[in-house]
Structure 1
Amino acid sequence: MSGTGVDVHTHLAPALPRVYTVDGPPGLADPARLKRYLDTAGLAGAIVSVPPPYYRQDLTGDDGVEWSAAVNAGLAARIEGLPRLRGLAYLPLHDPAAALRAYQTVGDGEWVGVVAGAGGRCPSLADPAYEPLWRALDADGRALLLHPAQSPDYRLADFYLHNLLGNPVETAVAAAQLVFGNVLARHPGLKVVLVHGGGAVPALAGRWSRGVETARPGVPEQELGVRDALRRFWVDALTHDATMARVLVDVFGPDKVLLGSDWPFPMGTGDPAAALNACPALEGAGIPTSAGTTNAAAAFGWSGP
């Protein structure tokens, strides 16, 4: 059984030839469970990436490139022969040179995009060292899904704040670097996808615009207005709050909202279209359907088998 639309934010652990154990929820290494979730959710397919524990930001240089190759081979093996599942190749973004080298090994066929850890040990994404990678992604039109890595802020150790607060903030920091660093303006073909409803970005859009309007210290001249820059991002609708659905549409645009569940993690959802369907302001707009089909195809070039 299958439905219509694609969940762009799901995870599977890669099959690795060497011992590397990650504690995770049931199903993290089981594509059959992922397919059963898709049936229950009424979706045709899922875009799959490795979860953050496999980002290994402690590895740089050759070690980072080799780890990326192993992880990607392991994910490819996990979803081989399963047309409802398509993968994102992992890039070690915390090392710009290694990320570029890893990207140069990504073939054209099996991957619908790439995934990388936002924040954690990453330098600023506005750093010139990333320019060769941005140029390559721009030229190829291949989407980069930014998924928050572990927050380095020790204050978030209590109350599960590393996830409840750290993840949304890491996404916002990465997005801000791309906006204020004029990265999106310089690379009009660069496709960037934000997860978890864009993290804290929607709540900060007005404040960021005000910072530009009042020429705050350190804010460079913007080649692309903040509001226009934000509409360059795609974003999944995983906010756990129907009132935020209209905010996502207003900030990012109706053509940039995607379905994402974060399957199989507890902070995810079994119904990624629920918030969109529950928002009265979006009733009749067709956004839940376009999010999983038209928008997914525009971002990743794939809307299901």
Structure 2
Amino acid sequence: MSTIDVHTHYVPRSWPDLSAAAGPGEDWPWPRLESERDVTIMIRSTEFRRIEANCWDAETRLADMDADGVDVQVVSPTPVFFSYTRPGDQALKVARIFNDLALEICAPAPDRFWPLCQVPLQDPDLACAELDRCLAAGHLGVEIGNHVGDRDLDDAGIVTFLQHCARVGAPVLVHPWDMPSSPRLNRWMAQWLTGMPAESHLSILALVLGGVFDQVPESLRICFAHGGGSFPFWVGRMDNAWHRRPDLVGTSEYPPSHYLDRFSVDTVVFAEPALRLLVDTVGVDRVMLGSDYPYPLGERPVGQLVRGAPFLTEPARAQLLGGNAARFLGRPVTVG
């Protein structure tokens, strides 16, 4: 039984000065690293996140994987680098820098690190071209943010990109990012504890009620990180609204529950009742192990929730730990 963690992140140990490489950043400053004491990602003078060697060092990651019984990590960008607020040509330059660095990070163990690329999603032509370049270079698929400013996943340009992903067979991981800020959300990590689940919920709803799943082929493989946010809990409410207020609720051909087999979710939900809800809602073949490694709010040991869930049969447990991911990613595991 192979274990595949579909939701992990990387940060390079260093990167070029993005202002020089991609353009000045007065309005939207580029992320940079400071290393006076801890290694810290900074935005202007504000600390975004402190990081450690497990973000970039293959030996550290492999040791953690072995300790947790993980065969493969799917290694994705950290969303702060997406650069969706920038002109497309600048975001493309940044994407190329980080995509190439991701390959370097994964190179020491290519059978155990499977990289996903990032793309300038605000420009569908550039996004499709960068995806193609990365697939040819060794990336397995792509991670995207769940929105570009006020454009959600039913935006025509983003739909064009998703159609391209389906056409070239690239799996897509959707990660919530750029959560709203307000005095009510800027305490207790509320942006992450309430805003992040809401972002995923809203963007799955956009795929459904925006009619995207009626437009893109069923061959599109798309997974939502963090368990799909709050969406699984509210399918009944959304169906009720679709039936009772069709004048207001979306343009989808069918109610939301009809589309539950069109996307997957990861297991980053931390509690057995939530995991059971995911399995009951989207199906046992649509839930894949994820951890959010190496960040502090991730699961460690990776997979402990799935391994310890008494409601799962052993065949179902094997599906969640690796079988579903191998099928979703279109790549067999050859570790050992």
What is the match of residue 8 of structure 2? 10
What letter matches 1:191 in structure 2? R
TM-score (norm 2): 0.83
Q: Greater Rg, structure 1 or structure 2?
A: 2
Task: Say which of 198, 208, 217 aligns to 2:228.
Answer: 198
Cα drift, residue 233 of structure 1:
1.0
Question: Could you list the runs of 5+ residues in structure 1 that have no partner in the other structure?
Answer: none
Task: Say which of 37, 46, 59 aligns to 2:64.
Answer: 37
Deviations 1:252-305 (A, max 9, x none): 1100110011111111011343223333322x2422211232201121113433
Question: Could you list the runs of 5+ residues in structure 2 that have no partner in the other structure?
Answer: 18-31, 34-40, 42-48
- Identity in percent: 25
What is the match of residue 84 of structure 2? 57
Q: How many Å separate the matches in 1 of 2:137 and 2:150?
A: 28
> How does 1:1-305 map onto structure 2 within 5 Å?
4-14=2-12, 16-19=14-17, 20-21=32-33, 22=41, 23-26=49-52, 27-82=54-109, 83-108=111-136, 110-119=138-147, 121=149, 123-154=151-182, 155-187=184-216, 188-282=218-312, 284-305=313-334
Q: How many equivalent pairs are there?
A: 302
What is the match of residue 24 of structure 2? none
Q: How many Å separate the matches in 2 of 1:159 and 1:11?
A: 23
What is the match of residue 29 of structure 2? none
What SS does structure 1 have at the residue aligned with 2:293? coil
Q: Over the residues paired in the alignment, what is the CA RMSD in angstroms?
A: 2.0
Q: How many Å separate the matches in 2 of 1:240 and 1:292?
A: 15
Deviations 1:9-47 (A, max 9, x none): 111113554143224332212222211111011121110
What SS does structure 2 have at the residue aligned with 1:156? coil
What SS does structure 1 have at the residue aligned with 2:133? coil
Cα drift, residue 166 of structure 1:
1.3
What SS does structure 1 have at the residue aligned with 2:167? helix
Contact 1:212 1:222 in 2 (8 A): no
Contact 1:235 1:258 in 2 (8 A): yes
What SS does structure 1 have at the residue aligned with 2:74? strand
TM-score (norm 1): 0.91
Deviations 1:123-142 (A, max 9, x none): 12112222321221111221
Q: How many Å separate the matches in 1 of 2:84 and 2:163?
A: 23
Cα drift, residue 163 of structure 1:
0.9
